[in-house]
Structure 1
Amino acid sequence: MTLLAPLEPQTRHAASPPEWRPPRHAHASVRRLHEYWVSRRPSGLAMPRRLDIDPAEFPVPLPNLLLLNILDGKPWFTYRVAGAKLSWLYRRPLTGQPLGEGMPEPERTELIAGAMSVASSGMPGYRRGDLGWCGRDYLDFEELLLPLAGADGGTAMILGIMMISDPQGKDC
């Protein structure tokens, strides 16, 4: 079962975009990627551009990262990059594949809806739950999706991380 958690507002300033942060209980890597994303935002902009981020600087495990292309029609999203942990989870390479391909329908719809929300709002999205949909209901996940701006200032790509843990909370 997936639990959707709203991101918590911090301080709001009239001259700058609202600040958001993952829930306090979020995995440390999820929080670190969010902090990196915030630190890479050009002054006064709601989100960084792809050129503002450098994978060599990511403070999180690269096998857990993903980068989604946003397309004009179906499929709405494709994996530009998918770390090895995600390919292990899906039991196949994901790079170049449509988001959600091969997932059962309820989970696929939820995954795409979350990405669409991030793309349309320009705000981060967070969710957590178990991995029962892929036969690994003994594992839990946390996912953070972060928008990246294109030349027009709208969301052009999505940077994300998925952390997977066992029942004792140990990273898998």
Structure 2
Amino acid sequence: MLSGCAFRTQLVTQGQRELFDYWLESAGQRPMPARSDLDPLKVPRLLPHLGLIDIREGVSRALFRLAGTRLRDIYGQEITGKRINEVFSGDCAAYWSRVHTRVAETGVPAHGVVRGPAEGRDHVVLFWLRLPLSEDGGRVDRILCHDMAGPSEADVAAEFTLYHYPRVQPQDFPLSRRVQFS
């Protein structure tokens, strides 16, 4: 298992690092904070990227209690109030089930990058972070999510094209007359 410092260095986005730092600070000496320890107003710029999954009835019955406005863009639908099997279906369902089950069972944060976070969203590259929460200090009852869409390969290629200037080859232009210097 990674230390908090080692885990933090693997986080890709600044938002992930900010949320992880806040999560650690909120936990104090406990392994993880409770939902009641968190004040969303302490991380206002992250709110559009945050989600809260309630797993008190088990991962198979988990649902999104809250979902920031950017999550609607990422998943292509409003996910607040939806069960996770409604959000993560098709080919990606098993992947997300493993992620959420591991966080729930171990109480350890997880992060990653995935293309196509939901069915029909293959154009989205998602940088995700999952942080466990526990009201009793032991059993994980909620998972705090940070999801941020990154540029796709097509976006990167388009951006590269905008700023990449082709090399101009020198051409021979015939001079209409010769100039002599004395």
TM-score (structure 2 length as normaliser):
0.74
Match of 1:9 among 2, 12, 16: 2
Give the alignment of 1:40-79 within 5 angstroms: 40-43=26-29, 45-58=30-43, 60-73=45-58, 75-79=60-64
Query: 1:121 corresponds to which letter in structure 2?
Result: T
Q: Does 1:97 align with 2:82?
A: yes
Match of 1:158 among 124, 139, 143: 143
Q: Which moved more, 1:47-56 or 1:18-27?
A: 18-27
Q: Higher Cα Rg: structure 1 or 2?
A: 2
Aligned residues: 155
Offset of 1:136 from its aligned partner? 4.3
Residue identity over aligned pairs, in percent, reads 26
Cα RMSD after superposing both structures: 2.6
Partner of 1:4: none
Q: Does 1:32 align with 2:25?
A: no
Distance across 2 between alignment mates of 1:92 and 1:132: 12
Distance across 2 between alignment mates of 1:20 and 1:100: 31
Q: Does 1:146 align with 2:131?
A: yes
Do the aligned partners of residues 23 and 137 (structure 1) sit closer, same or farther apart at CA in structure 2, a change above 3 Å counting? farther
Offset of 1:47 from its aligned partner? 0.3
Deviations 1:63-113 (A, max 9, x none): 111001013357431001011111222222111110131544230121122
Distance across 2 between alignment mates of 1:21 and 1:59: 23
Distance across 2 between alignment mates of 1:23 and 1:159: 19
TM-score (structure 1 length as normaliser):
0.77
Q: Provide the secondary structure at the position in 1 that maps to 2:86.
A: coil
